[in-house]
Structure 1
Amino acid sequence: MTRILIADDEALQAASLAQRLQALWPDITLLPPVHNGIDAVAALAREQPDIAFLDIRMPGLTGLQVAAAAARSRVVFVTAYDEYALAAFDASAVDYLLKPVSDARLAQCVTRLQRDTRPAPDLAAVLAQLAAPVTRTWLQWLHAGLGDTTRLIAVDEVLYFQASDKYTEIVTAHERHLIRLPLKELLAQLDPQRFAQIHRSYIVSLPQVGRIERDLLGRQQVMLKDGRSLPLSRSHAAQFRQM
């Protein structure tokens, strides 16, 4: 027999949900309801219900926090608020009921739970994955071809990139190479902590920047540590104001 736990800080709403669930799904065992997040976690550990209906906003712990402890239970979120991570619930094959829950919507949820015989999703892993920062791998090497030869260039060696017609020119301390990659596409692949666009035609390596200079006409230039100068447009000058 399917065992169900209801956690809702509103006792009347918990009782109403229990009554309606029993009517729609007679073959269930309703566990004593709980009314805060801490008691909900304890009940999940003690009773290990098949399904837990969790209100999201509860005292003690939120329903989302409680769900992280529901490794062996399928979870249905019940809430009066619609701003939570719906995508997380879809990915975990759980349901999301928005208060006030109509009889038709609750019946739909019950039908889904009856048909879904898959094991309970690992909600803790899903929630942790959503909370984890997205890691990004930035471009480390460039391939420049010349005839039958391909030159491998470390991005760390680059002083700057310059747009040149349909090509982009790679400039290092001692060499120049052309690649068939537009400057805009290249910028999206570069670590923004190390590279910045300073002009519509230039991307510079920030560790190579020595100072910013302004001429008599007010035009600004990026001076590299090796003495080379690059134009700095007004639209890109703000990032250097503290230099």
Structure 2
Amino acid sequence: MNATALIAEDEPLLAQALRAELARAWPQLRVLATVGDGAAAVEQALALRPEVLFLDIRMPALSGLDAAATLADEWPAEQPLPALVFVTAHDEFAVQAFEAQALDYVLKPVQPERLQRTVARVQAALRARAAPDWAGLRALLSGAASAAPRLRHLMASAGNSVQRIAIDEVLVFEAADKYVRVLTQGREFLIRTPLKELLPQLDPEGFWQIHRGTVVRVDAIDRVTRDEAGKWRLTVRSLDEAFAVSRLYADRFRAM
């Protein structure tokens, strides 16, 4: 079957090898671009809209997992998400790729027989136009499997002072430049701890990530609405602003 693809691999020789093996395993597949980092993968995928993504898990700056999550946020709502295949040189990352509900994974160096099985899976998914299940990827990105101790309070900046805030008071964490905004009822604070480091320390039943840069307290959610373009927005009790909900996390609310 005919299809289009994008390869993201930071080692040029391995990228060339994967492209050559794909040409043998799937002659009708048209590789639109080969890029060397996660940021370029996101940029080119959004510009070219391939049907299949081959993403190296370990890439400079933006990993394959983070690139996939970013694309889930930014992919046009009217188009199906591309089939996702992770590429890795390490068995432990192959397991992560499988748990992340990627359609499949490929170990480096690429083995023709294994790649042929991957091609068959991808082709079957494209024929069925099956939607990817992003639940496992969400878990990996949020650190849900981590055994990190739960936060009970944090120290945050408010103007020229530093204040102790109980986690039970926090309504929203939102990434903003080099800081994370901490919103409570009637107050806003700033902390320097990245959202990625905070997530494993938050109770996953009490806080939900709704976007790659936003986490909200579950029992403070007021309303979730979807506009004509298919974009979801969430409001929180006691706060005037609305927060974007990405496609990666929107299925949490469709079942409600």
* TM-score normalised to structure 2 length: 0.47
Structure of greater relative contact order (alpha carbons < 8 Å, 6+ residues apart): 2
